[in-house]
Amino acid sequence: MKLRKVTAASAAVLALAVTATACGSDDKDSSSSGGDKKITIGIKFDQPGIGQKTPQGYSGFDVDVATYIAKQLGYKADQIEWKESKSADRETMLQRGDVKFIAASYSITPERQEKVDFAGPYLLAHQDVLVRADDNSIKSPSDLNSKKLCSVTGSTSAQNVKDKLAPKANLLKYPTYSACLTGLQNKAIDGLTTDDSILAGYAAQASFKGKFKLAGFKMTNENYGIGVKKGSDLKAKINTALEKMVSDGAWEKAVTANFGPANYKNEPAPKIGDIKK
């Protein structure tokens, strides 16, 4: 009887140990087969130069940043599972735990900080205007008066220009940025406005090389951060990774590779926690 009781107690201790192991570090994911580490990261799938899914894989500045961070957290590139993070879904995805972190042209704002935490910022972008390379008539935001300015459905960027800088601008709604670029190339519109990093990414595509230029207006400050679940200890670890990425030159290399063809004049890498108003 004593032997049976000891065996039962030992089994209970073993079960508790297995349970504790299964509930281990929040920073390491396990796949359902084989126990290999995996990490799920949210990015954009449809923004060239930022985050894009192609037949060849995933590319863009945010993809490079996220891959670097994952490596610093102990994951190889083939252990990353990319998940599309549309703008309207990002906070919910983090709150539900669908992803470990999100790198998706994710501007840090007070409203978003109430719902999620941000590491970074890792890039300071600005609202700007993309025009044709041979168009020298738009030298300031006020020159957009009476010009045809592309407004992507669901975006407020063009409306902000009209409300604050060029009240006589003629807004034309297009379904996508790619459609705006085609309209800009065909002279159906005169300008496209959103974050300069996004504009540079589109303009840097091989099919558009040399056809467009950034006006350089810097109308707003957009502090891109890495979104994590509220209270997650990943924030500090990601900040450390971002600082290393800047110091070892990988950050500048990623900027040049993804935005360079559009002559994007990027801001220096921002200091962690330095959010420009």
Answer yes or no: is 149 within a domain: yes
Answer yes or no: is 270 within a domain: no
- Omega within 30 of 0 (cis) for the link into 121: yes
Answer yes or no: is 154 within a domain: yes
Q: How confident is the model at residue 88 (pLDDT cuts 50, 70, 90)?
A: confident
Answer yes or no: is 105 within a domain: yes
**Do 103 and 179 share a structural domain?**
no
Distance CA 101, CA 237 (A): 12
**Do 114 and 229 share a structural domain?**
yes
Q: What is the residue range of 184's domain? A: 127-214
Distance CA 177, CA 175 (A): 7
**Do 79 and 55 share a structural domain?**
yes
Least confident of 68-77, 146-155, 160-169, 241-250: 146-155
Answer yes or no: is 134 within a domain: yes
Q: Residue 252 in contact with residue 134, Cβ under 8 Å? A: no
**Do 110 and 37 share a structural domain?**
yes
**Do 152 and 78 share a structural domain?**
no
Residue 199 phi, psi dihedral angles, 5° rounding: -60, -45
Distance CA 105, CA 216 (A): 19
Number of independent structural domains in the chain: 2
Answer yes or no: is 248 within a domain: yes
Q: Residue 188: which CATH number?
A: 3.40.190.10
Q: Are strands 212-214 and 191-195 parallel, antiparallel or unpaired?
A: unpaired
**Do 179 and 167 share a structural domain?**
yes
Please count the other Cβ atoms lying within 10 Å of the Cβ belonging to residue 213: 20
Closest CA to 195 of 176, 223, 173, 167: 223
Q: Residue 52 in contact with residue 61, Cβ under 8 Å? A: no
pLDDT tens for each residue of 32-57: 333 579 999 999 998 999 999 999 99
Whether 204 shows a pLDDT value over 80: the answer reads yes
Q: Are strands 191-195 and 148-152 parallel, antiparallel or unpaired?
A: parallel
**Do 121 and 41 share a structural domain?**
yes
Answer yes or no: is 276 within a domain: no
Answer yes or no: is 209 within a domain: yes
Residue 214 three-state SS: strand
**Do 94 and 112 share a structural domain?**
yes
**Do 101 and 66 share a structural domain?**
yes
107 secondary structure, DSSP code: B
The b/e string for 254-272 (b: 16+ C-beta within 10 A; e otherwise) is bbeebbebbebebeebbeb
**Do 177 and 52 share a structural domain?**
no
Residue finishing a domain among 197, 214, 231: 214
109 secondary structure, DSSP code: -
In this predicted model, which residue has the larger pLDDT, 151 or 226? 226
User: What pLDDT is stored for residue 270 in this prediction?
Assistant: 97
* Residues constituting the chain: 277
Residue finishing a domain among 181, 214, 247: 214
